A and B are shown apart, each in its own frame.
Chain A
Amino acid sequence: MTDSDSRWRALLHRIVYASAFERMVISLAALVLSILVGGVLILVSGRLTTCPTAATTYLGVGFCYDPITVFDRLFFGALGDPMNPLFKPFAGEFAAPFRAGWSPFNAEMAVTLRETTVLIFTGLSVAVAFRADVFNIGTQGQLVVGAITSAVSLTALGPVAPSGIAGSLVLIPAGLLAGAIAGGLYGAIPGALKAYADANEVITTIMLNFVAAKVALFLVSGPLQRADSQIAQTEPIPAAASIPSVLFDARTGFSLVALAVAVCTALACYYLLNHTTLGYELRTSGLQAAAARYAGVKTDRTIVGSLVLSGALGGLGGAIYVMMIVGDFQTGVPSYGFDGITVAILAGSNPLGVLLAAPLFGIIQSGSIVIDTTTNVPPQLVDVLRGLIVLFVAMPEFFRQFGRRFFDDDGGEIDG
Chain B
Amino acid sequence: MTTEVRSMAEIAQRLKRRWLELVLVSALLLALGVLFSTTGLTLGDVISKRFLGATLRLSVPIAFAALGGIFAEKSGVINIGLEGHLIIAAFAAIAGVIMTGSVWAGFLAGILASTLFAVLFAIVCIEFQADQVIAGLAIWLVALGLGPFLSTVLYGSVNTPQTGSFQTITIPGLASLPVIGALFDVTPPVYLLYVAVIGCWYVLNHTAFGRWVNASGENPQALDTAGIDVIRVRYVSVILSGVLAGIGGAGYALSIGQFTGSGETMIGGRGFIAVVAYLLGNYNPIGAFLSTALFAGLQTLQIQLQTGVLPASLVQTVPYITVIVVLAAVGHTRTPAAAGEHYESGDE
Chain A residues engaging chain B, CB cutoff 8 angstroms: 45, 48-49, 135, 137, 193, 196-200, 202-204, 206-208, 210-211, 214-215, 217-218, 221-222, 338, 341-342, 345, 378, 380-388, 390-391, 393-398, 401
A203 close to B134 (CB less than 8 A): no
A391 close to B154 (CB less than 8 A): no
Decide: A197 near B328, CB < 8 A? Known: A380-B158, A381-B149, A394-B138.
yes
How many contacts between A and B, using CB within 8 angstroms?
148
Residue of B17, B130, B141, B275 most packed against chain A (CB within 10 A):
B141
A211 close to B317 (CB less than 8 A): yes
A197 close to B331 (CB less than 8 A): yes
Chain B residues engaging chain A, CB cutoff 8 angstroms: 16-17, 20, 80, 124, 127-131, 133-135, 137-146, 148-150, 152-154, 158, 264, 268-269, 272, 275-276, 279, 311, 313-314, 316-317, 320-321, 323-324, 327-329, 331-332
B residues less than 8 Å from A207 (CB atoms): 269, 272, 320-321, 323-324
- Cα of A366 to Cα of B116 in the assembled complex, Å: 32
Q: How far is the CB of B136 from chain A (nearest CB, A)?
A: 9
A-B contact pairs, 12 of them (CB 8 A): A48-B153, A48-B154, A135-B133, A197-B331, A202-B80, A204-B328, A207-B323, A217-B313, A380-B149, A387-B139, A387-B144, A401-B128
A residues less than 8 Å from B149 (CB atoms): 45, 378, 380-381, 383-384
Q: Which of B20, B145, B269, B321 contacts A387 (CB 8 A)?
A: B145
B residues less than 8 Å from A135 (CB atoms): 133, 137
- Cα of A217 to Cα of B317 in the assembled complex, Å: 11
A198 close to B331 (CB less than 8 A): yes
A193 close to B269 (CB less than 8 A): no
A residues less than 8 Å from B80 (CB atoms): 202
A residues less than 8 Å from B134 (CB atoms): 345, 390, 393-394
Residue of A199, A396, A398 most packed against chain B (CB within 10 A):
A199
- Cα of A76 to Cα of B150 in the assembled complex, Å: 25
B314 close to A218 (CB less than 8 A): yes
B137 close to A211 (CB less than 8 A): no
- Cα of A408 to Cα of B323 in the assembled complex, Å: 50
Decide: A398 near B128, CB < 8 A? Known: A384-B146, A390-B134.
yes
Interface of A is mostly: helix
Q: How far is the CB of A236 from chain B (nearest CB, A)?
A: 22
A199 close to B328 (CB less than 8 A): yes
- Cα of A387 to Cα of B129 in the assembled complex, Å: 18
* Beta-carbon nearest neighbor of B268 in chain A: A210
B142 close to A387 (CB less than 8 A): yes
A390 close to B137 (CB less than 8 A): yes
A387 close to B324 (CB less than 8 A): no
- Cα of A193 to Cα of B128 in the assembled complex, Å: 32
B145 close to A384 (CB less than 8 A): yes
Q: Which of A137, A214, A342, A395 contacts B124 (CB 8 A)?
A: A395
Decide: A206 near B135, CB < 8 A? Known: A200-B327, A214-B314, A395-B124.
no
- Cα of A336 to Cα of B331 in the assembled complex, Å: 29
A residues less than 8 Å from B124 (CB atoms): 391, 394-395, 398
- Cα of A222 to Cα of B313 in the assembled complex, Å: 10
A203 close to B276 (CB less than 8 A): yes
- Cα of A241 to Cα of B152 in the assembled complex, Å: 39
B141 close to A390 (CB less than 8 A): yes
* Beta-carbon nearest neighbor of B134 in chain A: A394
A residues less than 8 Å from B129 (CB atoms): 395, 397
- Cα of A385 to Cα of B149 in the assembled complex, Å: 11
Q: Which of B148, B268, B313 contacts A215 (CB 8 A)?
A: B313
Q: Which are the 5 A-B pairs with shortest beta-carbon distances?
A: A383-B145, A387-B142, A387-B141, A198-B331, A378-B152
Q: Which of B142, B145, B275, B316 contacts A382 (CB 8 A)?
A: B145
- Cα of A211 to Cα of B314 in the assembled complex, Å: 8
Decide: A383 near B148, CB < 8 A? Known: A197-B20, A345-B134, A394-B131.
yes
A386 close to B141 (CB less than 8 A): yes
B144 close to A214 (CB less than 8 A): no
Q: Which of A206, A217, A398 contacts B269 (CB 8 A)?
A: A206
A338 close to B272 (CB less than 8 A): no
A388 close to B142 (CB less than 8 A): yes
A residues less than 8 Å from B329 (CB atoms): 197
- Cα of A193 to Cα of B332 in the assembled complex, Å: 12
